[in-house]
């Protein structure tokens, strides 16, 4: 006779339950209410839900009730954060919270000319995008900004060299041009090349946060990201865990990476937000190590001096030999991820123009 006592299995929370718990944690516990960190993270998590067409109820969004109730006063007192306030308000309404304050807030922002405080075309584009969600924008002004952003994004040589700020901005340009996947952004071939180069660099750097945003931008442009990149993003997302307590080193908190890798996973049809979110204060722990190839690869090329070539076929063996096995595999995967790797390397090698011309 068996003495084994069966225990009932404990059901894991559903994805919807995890997202509800995530909203509670971000809205109530991670940062002081109304701090810029609170505004940033809540704008990001609500933006992700809108961008993935999540279905939420007013009860799901209840943690924001007090914020929404006082949002006009907050905007009046903190106009420098108007983009955060607009983003959170519009997302709450579009997700199902109810209410119609977004239109009056947009009117208030437009009347005050708050876009005029922005130094960056990207921030102006975000502001125009937000106002357009309630039918308020200066089309001529908006199109002028978009033309300048396209000019920036079409310079593919920018994206063959490590420049995280430029690469993130490239992804966000596509977000705004596509209205987060709702319309064809009409990317030129040069812009597509820029995205591919930025993706190669992000993969070589093992920067899964940036790689996820590039994959999302490609999805919004109606293209399929490389499966090499998609698998890397999926791996990273599956190894980020929400944990109780405050991060010992806040700079290592992986909240943003958790969010954007989950976003990219949702768009690609993969598993996302399956990790259970604890109650109370939480931080996000990434349980993987990243081995960037960029520094050793650059050091190898720099050390070659006059013998450095922009021809990847000529340099391949030398560069691979300079790497440890793990980084060697990453480089091979990057090479296989796109048909444009040879063209990418011509820029990455940074061979002086006179020597490159002479070699040709």
3-state DSSP assignment of residue 244: strand
Q: Number of helices (H) and strands (E) in the chain: give both, helices first.
A: 18, 2
Segment 228-244 shows an average pLDDT of 97
- In the block, which residue shows the tokens 């030129």? 188
pLDDT score at 1: 46
Q: What percent of the chain has pLDDT over 90?
A: 86
Average pLDDT, the chain: 93
Q: What percent of the chain has pLDDT over 70?
A: 95
How many angstroms separate the first and last alpha carbons of the chain? Answer: 83
247 close to 253: Cβ distance less than 8 angstroms: yes
Q: Where are the domains of the chain?
A: 14-148, 159-288, 291-360
Q: Which tens digit of pLDDT belongs to each residue from 252-274? A: 899 999 999 999 999 999 999 99
Segment 200-212 shows an average pLDDT of 98
Task: With a cut of 80, say whether residue 299 has pLDDT above it.
Answer: yes
Give the closest residue to 27 by CA, choosing from 131, 123, 130, 97: 97
pLDDT score at 13: 84
**H or E segment to which residue 2 belongs:** none
* Beta carbons within 8 Å of 207's beta carbon, 6+ residues apart: 164, 290, 292
Task: With a cut of 90, say whether residue 5 has pLDDT above it.
Answer: no
Q: What is the 3-state secondary structure (H, E, C) of 32-77?
A: CCCCHHHHHHHHHHHHHHHHCCCCCCCCCCHHHHHHHHCHHHHHHH
Task: With a cut of 90, say whether residue 137 has pLDDT above it.
Answer: no
Q: Which tens digit of pLDDT belongs to each residue from 42-92? A: 999 999 999 999 999 999 999 999 999 999 999 999 999 999 999 999 999
What value does the CA radius of gyration of the chain take, rounded to a whole number of Å? 23
236 close to 194: Cβ distance less than 8 angstroms: no
* Beta carbons within 8 Å of 295's beta carbon, 6+ residues apart: none
Task: With a cut of 50, say whether residue 340 has pLDDT above it.
Answer: yes
Task: With a cut of 60, say whether residue 159 has pLDDT above it.
Answer: yes
Q: Lowest-confidence range among 104-118, 134-148, 166-180?
A: 134-148
| C-alpha to C-alpha distances, 293 to 196, 211, 217, 225, 321, nearest whole angstrom | 17, 15, 23, 21, 13
CA dihedral in degrees (273, 277, 283, 284; nearest 10)? Answer: -30
70: buried, middle or exposed (CB in 10 Å: 19+, 13-18, 0-12)? exposed
Task: With a cut of 50, say whether residue 334 has pLDDT above it.
Answer: yes
pLDDT score at 90: 98
pLDDT score at 251: 74
Structure tokens at 259: 């969010």
């Amino acid at each position: 006779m068996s003495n084994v006592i069966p225990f009932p299995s404990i059901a894991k929370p559903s994805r919807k339950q995890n997202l509800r718990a995530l909203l509670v944690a971000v809205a109530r516990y991670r940062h002081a209410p109304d701090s810029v960190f609170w505004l940033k993270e809540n704008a990001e998590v609500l933006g992700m839900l809108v961008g993935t067409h999540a279905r939420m109820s007013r009860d799901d969004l209840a943690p924001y009730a007090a914020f929404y109730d006082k949002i006009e006063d907050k905007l009046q007192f903190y106009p420098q954060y108007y983009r955060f306030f607009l983003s959170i308000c519009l997302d709450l309404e579009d997700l199902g919270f109810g209410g119609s304050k977004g239109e009056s807030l947009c009117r208030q922002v437009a009347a005050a000319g708050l876009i005029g405080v922005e130094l960056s075309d990207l921030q102006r584009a975000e502001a125009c995008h937000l106002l357009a969600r309630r039918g308020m924008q200066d089309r001529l002004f908006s199109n002028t900004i978009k033309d300048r952003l396209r000019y920036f994004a079409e310079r593919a040589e920018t994206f063959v060299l490590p420049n995280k700020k430029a690469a993130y901005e490239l992804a966000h340009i596509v977000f705004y041009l596509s209205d987060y996947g709702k319309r064809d952004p009409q990317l030129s071939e040069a812009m597509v090349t820029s995205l591919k180069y930025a993706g190669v660099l992000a993969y070589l750097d093992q920067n899964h946060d940036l790689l996820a945003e590039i994959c999302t931008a490609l999805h919004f442009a109606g293209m399929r990201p490389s499966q090499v990149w998609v698998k890397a993003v999926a791996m990273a997302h599956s190894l980020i865990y929400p944990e109780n307590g405050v991060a010992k080193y806040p700079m290592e908190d992986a909240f943003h990476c958790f969010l954007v890798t989950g976003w990219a996973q949702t768009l690609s049809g993969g598993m996302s937000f399956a990790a259970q979110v604890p109650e109370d204060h939480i931080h996000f722990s990434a349980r993987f190590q990243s081995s960037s190839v960029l520094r050793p690869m650059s050091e190898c090329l720099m050390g070659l001096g006059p013998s450095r070539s922009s021809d990847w076929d000529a340099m391949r063996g030398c560069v691979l030999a300079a790497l440890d096995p793990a980084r060697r595999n990453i480089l091979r995967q990057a090479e296989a991820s796109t048909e444009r790797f040879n063209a990418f390397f011509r820029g990455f090698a940074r061979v002086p123009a006179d020597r490159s011309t002479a070699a040709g």
